[in-house]
Amino acid sequence: MKSIQLSQGGGGLESQTLIQNLFYRHFNNPILAQAEDAALIECQGQTAFTTDSYTVNPLFFQGGDIGKLAVIGTLNDLAMRTARPGYLSAGFIIEEGLAYADLERIVASMAQAIAEADCQLVCGDTKVVPKGAVDKLFINTSGIGAVQTNHPPALNRIQPGDALIVSGDLGRHGAVIMAARGGLDLNSDLQTDCALLWPLVEALLNAGIELHALRDATRGGLATVLNEWAQASGLGLAIEESQLPICEPVQGLCELLGFEAYDLANEGRMVIALPADQAEAALRVLRQFDISQNAAHIGEVNQHQPGQVIIQTAWGTQRRLHWPNGELLPRIC
């Protein structure tokens, strides 16, 4: 088979063949293998539940693809409420004519990410739509996880005096997608930061770090997270521009195209608000992981200029860090 046909979404023999030969082969587990209309799963205690849809263009990019993104993105949303990943669903909307080899490569990538997260895909759905109805492939994933603390991080737990930490350098995912779409040669091996954040959160919990708020800085980047927190808490956030971790290739691309790295999307970075006296301990934990070696203490929460994010520039001046404006880059995650 070279490409996906409309008949493979019709619910008949062709659909069953696609499901059995592709999805069941890669995602197989005892719950999925029951092939019932709904999966039966075990949940105990407080449970987190989330969903997201993924429409990145191009489907494949340096360090990842839409399949890995669809798994990691949803599991990271669970991790931001300190929920250990447990179960996933996946819905595929496939454009007629998509190369079968591309779809299999994406499904295999999802299976690998699911295995690395030690969770299970237990239900799913497949639709094939006429050519032009969607652009190649859209994926929706939903996730369920068991919350690991009695006091999950939340916006209403942010307090004056809290330290603000980012878990790694900023803007890689957005920069990689921009480069792939524009055919730009970054003259580097820059890859997306797409990575599972649960191991970092688990290590912080095990170290006794009190997590007041957690948010993965995806679409809209760090600037969106900070403005959401300032607005929701009614507190001021003060950021040191010189402390923002940004790698050289991302900085170079931003200067070339007129972007700011803190506006660009990330897929494996989180922002943390926590008691200031635990900031150094949290950084020591994070820097044990490859994906968070560049974790940095970037600022503080205060009661000045409530609802605003103020950035102290490298030139000694202050300015307001605004929400990103407009559509910087469509279909990025």
The DSSP result for 288-307, as a single string, is TSGGGTT-EEEEEEESSSTT
Q: Are 51 and 70 in contact (CB under 8 A)?
A: no
- Cα angle: 108, vertex 114, 117; to 5 degrees: 145
Q: What percentage of the chain carries pLDDT values higher than 90?
A: 90
- 331 band by pLDDT with thresholds 50, 70 and 90: confident
- Which ranges of 154-289 would DSSP assign to H, the alpha helix? 172-182, 198-206, 221-233, 248-257, 279-286
How confident is the model over 127-155, as a mean pLDDT? 97
Rounded distance, CA 77 to CA 80, Å?
5
Q: What is the pLDDT of residues 58-115, one digit of tens each?
A: 999 999 999 999 999 999 999 999 999 999 999 999 999 999 999 999 999 999 999 9
Q: Please give the pLDDT value at position 132.
A: 96
**For residue 126, what are the CA distances in angstroms to 109, 139, 232?**
17, 9, 38
- Structure confidence at residue 184 (pLDDT): 72
pLDDT of 16 over the 80 cut? yes
| Neighbour-count burial of 310, counting CB atoms closer than 10 A to its CB (0-12 exposed, 13-18 middle, 19+ buried) | middle
How do 296-302 and 236-240 pair as beta strands?
antiparallel
Q: SS3 for 186-209, per residue? A: CCCCCCCCCCCCHHHHHHHHHCCC
Whole-number pLDDT of residue 252: 92
* Model confidence, pTM: 0.96
Residue 101: CA count within 13 A, CB half-sphere: 1
Hey, what amino acid is at 22?
A: L
Smallest CA-to-CA distance from 92 within 127, 123, 121, 119 is with 127
At 192, is the pLDDT very low, low, confident or very high (cuts 50, 70, 90)?
very high
- Of 162, 203, 171, 154, which is closest to residue 294 (Cα–Cα)? 171
Q: What is the mean pLDDT of residues 47-58?
A: 96
Predicted confidence (pLDDT) per residue in 304-315, tens digit: 999 999 999 988
Residue that is written with structure tokens 């927190």 in the block? 229
Q: What is the pLDDT of residue 284?
A: 98
Instruction: Give me the amino acid identity at 157.
Output: R
- CA neighbours closer than 13 Å in the CB half-sphere of residue 198: 24
pLDDT at 159: 97
Residues 6+ apart with CB under 8 A from 246: 169, 170, 171, 254, 261
What does the pLDDT read at residue 186? 66
User: Per-residue b/e over 42-65, b at no fewer than 16 CB within 10 Å?
Assistant: eeeeebbebebebbbeebbbbbbb
Q: Are 68 and 161 in contact (CB under 8 A)?
A: no
